[in-house]
Structure 1
Amino acid sequence: MKRLIPLILETLDRGLTRVNPLVAAALWHLRHPTRRGVLKACAALPLLFVLYVLVLIPFTPGIGDIRKAKIEQPARILSADGKLLAEFKPSNREWVKLKDISPNVVNALIATEDHRFYQHFGLDWRRTASAALHTFSGDRQGGSTITQQLARNLYPDEIGRAPTLTRKLKEAITAFKIEALYTKDEILETYLNTVPFLYNAYGIEMAARTYFDKSASELNVLESATLAGMLKGNSYYNPVLNPERALQRRNTVLAQMVKFGKLTPAAYQTLSKKPLRIDFERQTEPPGPAPHFAQQLRKWLAAWADRNDYNLYSDGLVVRTTIDSRLQTMATQAVILQGNQLQGIANAAWGSRAGCSNGKDLLATFLRETPDYRAAKDTGLSDDDALKRVSANRGLVQSVCESKTRVQADFLAMDPRNGQIRAWVGSRDFSQDPFDHVQQARRQPGSTFKPFVYAAAFEAGAKPSDTLLDQPVEIQLAGGEVWRPGDEDEPSERPITLRDGLAYSRNRITAQLMQTVGPNKVARLARAMGVRDSPLEAVPSLALGTSPVTLKEMVSAYGTIANLGGYVEPVMVTRIEDRNGEVLADFAPTPPQQELSADAA
């Protein structure tokens, strides 16, 4: 390396001398430094540093951004009649004012993270210098103030995450801006409401509820010290998974509180001997009156916000939807009632209140699918002995039976004239069944698919009064198989009109009509009428609904019939406004596409 640098300089010297005498002179001085030159270079370093900081300032969050972060407003989702359906928050957070947070939390935080918080203006020079010295000596330490941590928490993308000088400078600049704009109490309040605490708990209020089942105002010294201790490393000092580390860290926080006069030595001696007591429970947001609808809307709205440069979680968007809150309430009640009635019938058919019982072959099949059975087999037990072991666990058996035999129901109401969705219930209970059976679940529609066969026939010129014989049907399939669709009764050999064939859902009549029209035409028409996402297999059995589809597609396609053949795409939103009520986007009903003639409809 010692020989390489002079060689590079010499090469540059020879090449650049011909280009610019000033560059050549500068290179000569670089290779032959004088005392005066060294002093000039040292004097220039602070100036270069200041210039670098000035260059960085435009690349840090602006004052307006900081103000917006403090008054963060999530998107509010309203029904067509003005009722709140949901709020789209970035995390599980509930903002609390500083006066509603226990003083123990503030004392523990400042004593541990930034004991000169009230004396500095965003950067603690003494602590920064000390951290730098320790880092250079091999003992890496953090020197960030609470304000710097807040800047990092609020603007991780703008400031960056790499452990570089540039990142630290951007962090410090942003901290100075925050200190210029906010009071110390506002900074503390914002920090305590935005800091993460694992398990999707953001802010001190959700942390208090998650780890101690109480509000932030009720936290005692030990609980406050435990939560403050987590800030050094949430996962490492997780009191749920690493209680011993969390206990040691809690006592370190207590010692810091003694050091800075927030706790007496006598109290420390007593408190440090107490065990780590937590009352852990994950916090979940209330589902709201239309949770499955809100779940699907969030995806759509996030894409819209990205395209139009809005923040879904902080710009205070007001989204006016097509849902009618009264119809939504009635639909939810109907699904619960119908689901419970069907569940009772299913349970009776399965032979027990839980839906299945010991001694049945199907229950054994279910139990063989459980991790408990596999674990028993891994110990060397035979199949019979492993089944006996897991069957003895009544809780496991009941859980398996309920999950395997739970009946589902879902509901969608749509105005066929404009495609506006009025009610959306994706399952019997969102908290137990978050999977959306309206848009995500694909099921065989069975006989509800038959109208598309008849629609294709009417579109081709058939009339409701046309007849087909009620006779045995045999249809040759690819591969040499024969499909023989049947009905509950025997063939009567009598003519049946197409009107009656549809009204009475006759399989043999529908299968014959499918042969006349052709599966491809039926599949194309069903897609045009609204079954536009699920693949339809163009085979004869499609007539009886063998290709799985979603409820949303079927409602949309039936809406086309009700709208005299005019297809209208289902819509969820009528208008999006900003926080001041100014309209940002208006979604007027689109003209229907005539996919089926009015006569056929």
Structure 2
Amino acid sequence: MYRRYGSLFRERCAQWLGRIQPLTAAGSTIVRLAFGRALGRLRRPTRRGIVLTLVALPAIFLLYVLALVPLTPSIGNIRKARVDQPALIVSADGKLLEQFKPVNREWVSLRQISPYMVDALIATEDRRFYEHHGIDWTRTASAALHTFSGDRQGGSTITQQLARNLYPDEIGRAPTLTRKLREAITALKIEAVYSKDQILETYLNTVPFLYNAYGVEMAARTYFGKSANQLDILECATLVGMLKANSTYNPVLNPERALQRRNTVLGQMDKYGKLKPDTYAWLKRQPMRVDLALQTAPPGAAPHFSAQLRKWLIAWADRNGYNIYADGLVVRTTVDYRLQAMATQAVAWQTSQLQWIANDAWNERTGCWPGNDLFQTFMRQTAEYRAARDAGQSDQAALRKLGMNPTFVRALCRTKTQVQAGFVAIDPRNGDIKAWVGSRDFGEVPFDHVQQARRQPGSTFKPFVYGAAFADGAQPGDTIVDRNVAIPVSGQAEWRPTDAEPPTGRPMTLRDALAYSRNRITAQLMQKERPEKVARLARAMGVRESPLEPVPSLALGTSPVTLKEMVSAYSTIANRGAYLEPRMVTRIENRDGKVLAEFASVSPVQALPAAAAQTLVDVMRDVVSRGTGAGIRTRFGIRADVAGKTGTTQDNTDSWFILMHPQLVAGAWVGFDDGRVTLGNYWGEGARSALPVVGAFYDMALRTRVIDQDVRFSPETRPRAVNARKQRHFLFWRF
């Protein structure tokens, strides 16, 4: 008899041993040796050996449990986990910009949840919930016996399930003894910290329900279009039924299974007296009714800014031992809520205007028609085209079939021809980012055209060339002959910059060349200053992340950069040549207002001599007074002391405009995500696409006195006219 039962016992112990996941090398070795010795005694079982083994195994098991205790969540962490305390992102003027929530959840108290939900949950998942202290020993023993005999069953209480929901990484979900022990230990800790009602509240607010709905409040809105306190018995039973397996009992995709599971929950409620007499028979005959409405968290006032800030804050919190989702941090940012609203409005207004033009240029009769070579290229890039080819259709057959599908054509056309924009404003005096708009609609396009997009800056890069020249002693009145040039590049190739106007053959001042954005003059000046030097200056002034290719064409902005880098570099110009790293956060506080960290502006670094920066500002005043950016004065009536530069890249792919004011520097990029889509020669120019965004923004900011109309660049300088006989001419050899 001993041999027969000893063989069965050895087999079961071997199975348990295989499930043990060692937590430390030492602990694992001790446990395995102990189990090995115990099993060794059972190879030739005796009455005394079996008794000793039965005594030793519980002691070993207890040691193993004790070894797991410090590896489960601490009491302090459990106390913080119950209620969401997300980081609050606050603007410089005290307005809430965003809350950093880990998931799409709205926490509600137990009083705000239908009592039917609690009844259904307890009747189905843990009928002795109010009687145990985290572990239902009766249910655990029953589940263990079934599992031991090969019929695996779950025995987790609501508290144990909550432990898994709160700490999925620490506890895990593998069907092992170690995981069950960690879960049980954590459940006991939770029961020691929380009341039963707090446990129920926390559980119902943290459990997932598919479709990015976390917690019963979001589940009620998602599946039934109502709040959690309005749920009826059938709806509560449906949601509780999903807890066993969300996908399997999804009432949207698997309504029959969900109905059966709902009725099982109703049966449990009836069995344990949670339903009125004779109501179960009527309830289980009712049809499944679901009104799916996906819930998305509304974006904050500065969603692209917040997305970048979240990455930075997570890194800071990890280094300093904080949790951005649970510790109630208050992050004071540099963004001005008023300026942010103005920037958002300006971007929305201008891109809406341009979209009308784009829709007219790209419709099913013009650009977005199947006979257009470019549109055919777009079609070949779609999943529908690849599926058609995989099915054996030829290229032309696939294009013809897709082209005859108006729904496909309209959807592809809209995707490719959505006008996009980016806008950012920085205070040049301290580097504070005051406004940030990364796209037209964060919900549709979360891609950030301020920080992530690298586009050719076009003529907005020219001030770096002129800044280098002014640093070397050149004056705005110095001249270069406006003529055709051929500049050698690698190998035998030549670069021949052109302008819309034919060359005059006459000297042109540097002031006029920058005001009217003359490419031929700038290219010659670049040859004198050298591409390597101009690239170094641009990096020193703020273009510090994007690589700049030191070639002659760099003068016309051929190396892609980000809008943030360009506005930062222009802020250096406005700050008398001193570079300040852009700043997003001024300080971080805890929920009680105690300052945890402060972030002062970084010490300025002189990137461009102050005199050269002042000269550059003065020359760029002419851009908006009489040059390519004159719309700032004529269209928007801005009379403040401002200076700026337009930019348009080849084929009108990218449109730029950046404007400097002593208190604020702002810039905009406008274009399409696919550079092959353009608005044409007229609307594609920076003066017509990007300038209105900046102009509308400054108009609002000046009218509301968020920035001062009367402040001027200090000291105000405008170089005196140079005597014609003393005027220098830059003469260059013919390349």
Q: Does 1:89 align with 2:129?
A: no
**Equivalent residues of 1:201, 1:210 under 8 A apart:** yes
User: Greater shift after overlay, 396-405 or 307-316?
Assistant: 396-405
Q: Aligned partners of 2:331, 2:198: CA distance in 1, in Å?
A: 30
Corresponding residue SS for 2:492: coil
Q: Aligned partners of 1:480, 1:396: CA distance in 2, in Å?
A: 47
Among 554, 578, 598, the alignment partner of 1:566 is: 578
**Equivalent residues of 1:347, 1:355 under 8 A apart:** no
Partner in structure 2 of residue 167 of structure 1 = 179
Using the TM superposition, give the Cα deviation of residue 266 of structure 1 relative to its aligned residue in structure 2, in angstroms. 4.8
Q: Does 1:547 align with 2:559?
A: yes
Q: Aligned partners of 2:286, 2:377: CA distance in 1, in Å?
A: 49
Q: Does 1:472 align with 2:484?
A: yes
Q: Deviations over 1:491-525 (max 9, x none)?
A: 11001111211111100000111111111111111
Q: Does 1:452 align with 2:464?
A: yes
Q: 1:57 to 1:520 in 2, by over 3 A?
A: same
Q: Aligned partners of 1:41, 1:381: CA distance in 2, in Å?
A: 71
Unmatched runs of 5 consecutive residues or more in structure 1: 3-25
Q: 1:386 to 1:46 in 2, by over 3 A?
A: closer
Paired residue type of 1:187: I
Q: 1:191 to 1:350 in 2, by over 3 A?
A: closer
Using the TM superposition, give the Cα deviation of residue 377 of structure 1 relative to its aligned residue in structure 2, in angstroms. 4.6
**Equivalent residues of 1:209, 1:215 under 8 A apart:** yes
Among 215, 230, 235, the alignment partner of 1:203 is: 215
Q: Aligned partners of 1:38, 1:404: CA distance in 2, in Å?
A: 76
Q: Does 1:493 align with 2:505?
A: yes
Q: Deviations over 1:552-573 (max 9, x none)?
A: 0000111111111100000100
Paired residue type of 1:513: L
Q: Aligned partners of 2:117, 2:443: CA distance in 1, in Å?
A: 33
User: Greater shift after overlay, 445-454 or 148-157?
Assistant: 148-157
Among 171, 178, 203, the alignment partner of 2:190 is: 178
What is the correspondence of 1:143-292 to structure 2 with a 5 Å cutoff? 143-263=155-275, 266-292=278-304
Corresponding residue SS for 2:612: coil
Paired residue type of 2:431: G
**Equivalent residues of 1:316, 1:578 under 8 A apart:** yes
Among 134, 144, 152, the alignment partner of 2:146 is: 134
Q: 1:548 to 1:185 in 2, by over 3 A?
A: same
Paired residue type of 2:238: T
Partner in structure 2 of residue 17 of structure 1 = none
User: Quick one: percent identity of the two aligned structures?
Assistant: 70
Unmatched runs of 5 consecutive residues or more in structure 2: 1-6, 8-36, 614-735
Q: Aligned partners of 1:61, 1:378: CA distance in 2, in Å?
A: 51
**Equivalent residues of 1:347, 1:353 under 8 A apart:** no
Q: Deviations over 1:264-295 (max 9, x none)?
A: 68544444344433222321111011111101
Q: Deviations over 1:550-601 (max 9, x none)?
A: 0000001111111111000001000001111111110011211011111211
Q: 1:544 to 1:169 in 2, by over 3 A?
A: same
Q: Does 1:463 align with 2:485?
A: no
Using the TM superposition, give the Cα deviation of residue 88 of structure 1 relative to its aligned residue in structure 2, in angstroms. 0.4
Using the TM superposition, give the Cα deviation of residue 543 of structure 1 relative to its aligned residue in structure 2, in angstroms. 0.8
Corresponding residue SS for 2:588: strand
Give the structure-2-normalised TM-score.
0.74
Among 497, 506, 512, the alignment partner of 2:524 is: 512
What is the correspondence of 1:96-111 to structure 2 with a 5 Å cutoff? 96-111=108-123
Corresponding residue SS for 1:496: strand
**Equivalent residues of 1:348, 1:355 under 8 A apart:** no
**Equivalent residues of 2:204, 2:215 under 8 A apart:** yes
Partner in structure 2 of residue 525 of structure 1 = 537
What is the correspondence of 1:54-65 to structure 2 with a 5 Å cutoff? 54-65=66-77
Among 434, 445, 453, the alignment partner of 1:441 is: 453
Paired residue type of 2:450: V
Q: Does 1:580 align with 2:592?
A: yes
Paired residue type of 2:217: E
Partner in structure 2 of residue 7 of structure 1 = none
Q: Aligned partners of 1:143, 1:131: CA distance in 2, in Å?
A: 5
User: Greater shift after overlay, 64-73 or 53-62?
Assistant: 53-62
Q: Aligned partners of 1:227, 1:515: CA distance in 2, in Å?
A: 72
Paired residue type of 1:474: A
User: Greater shift after overlay, 75-84 or 91-100?
Assistant: 91-100
Q: Does 1:417 align with 2:404?
A: no
Paired residue type of 1:87: Q
Paired residue type of 1:547: S
Using the TM superposition, give the Cα deviation of residue 356 of structure 1 relative to its aligned residue in structure 2, in angstroms. 4.2
**Equivalent residues of 1:355, 1:402 under 8 A apart:** no
Paired residue type of 1:67: R
**Equivalent residues of 1:354, 1:402 under 8 A apart:** no
Q: Aligned partners of 1:264, 1:393: CA distance in 2, in Å?
A: 56
**Equivalent residues of 2:83, 2:202 under 8 A apart:** no
Corresponding residue SS for 1:93: coil
Using the TM superposition, give the Cα deviation of residue 159 of structure 1 relative to its aligned residue in structure 2, in angstroms. 3.2
Using the TM superposition, give the Cα deviation of residue 349 of structure 1 relative to its aligned residue in structure 2, in angstroms. 3.7
Q: Deviations over 1:424-463 (max 9, x none)?
A: 0111121222111000111110000001111122223322
User: Greater shift after overlay, 329-338 or 262-271?
Assistant: 262-271
Paired residue type of 1:276: M
**Equivalent residues of 1:470, 1:493 under 8 A apart:** yes
Q: Does 1:73 align with 2:68?
A: no
Using the TM superposition, give the Cα deviation of residue 48 of structure 1 relative to its aligned residue in structure 2, in angstroms. 4.4
Corresponding residue SS for 1:316: coil
Paired residue type of 1:568: L
Q: Aligned partners of 1:274, 1:388: CA distance in 2, in Å?
A: 49
**Equivalent residues of 1:347, 1:356 under 8 A apart:** no
Corresponding residue SS for 1:340: helix
Q: Aligned partners of 2:483, 2:265: CA distance in 1, in Å?
A: 86
User: Greater shift after overlay, 565-574 or 231-240?
Assistant: 231-240
Using the TM superposition, give the Cα deviation of residue 72 of structure 1 relative to its aligned residue in structure 2, in angstroms. 3.2
Q: 1:138 to 1:351 in 2, by over 3 A?
A: closer
Q: Aligned partners of 1:70, 1:43: CA distance in 2, in Å?
A: 40
Corresponding residue SS for 2:610: coil
Q: Does 1:395 align with 2:407?
A: yes
Q: Aligned partners of 2:86, 2:60: CA distance in 1, in Å?
A: 42
Q: Deviations over 1:119-174 (max 9, x none)?
A: 22211111101100110111111001001111222123333444333332332232
Partner in structure 2 of residue 23 of structure 1 = none
User: Greater shift after overlay, 149-158 or 255-264?
Assistant: 255-264
**Equivalent residues of 1:161, 1:167 under 8 A apart:** yes
Q: Deviations over 1:177-226 (max 9, x none)?
A: 32233222211111101111222211111111222222212222232222
Q: Does 1:338 align with 2:350?
A: yes
Query: How many residue pairs get matched?
Result: 577
User: Greater shift after overlay, 242-251 or 520-529?
Assistant: 242-251
Q: Aligned partners of 2:76, 2:392: CA distance in 1, in Å?
A: 66
Q: Does 1:124 align with 2:136?
A: yes
Paired residue type of 1:327: L
Q: 1:403 to 1:320 in 2, by over 3 A?
A: same
Using the TM superposition, give the Cα deviation of residue 243 of structure 1 relative to its aligned residue in structure 2, in angstroms. 3.4
Q: 1:105 to 1:368 in 2, by over 3 A?
A: same
Q: Aligned partners of 2:330, 2:542: CA distance in 1, in Å?
A: 29
Among 313, 319, 337, the alignment partner of 2:331 is: 319
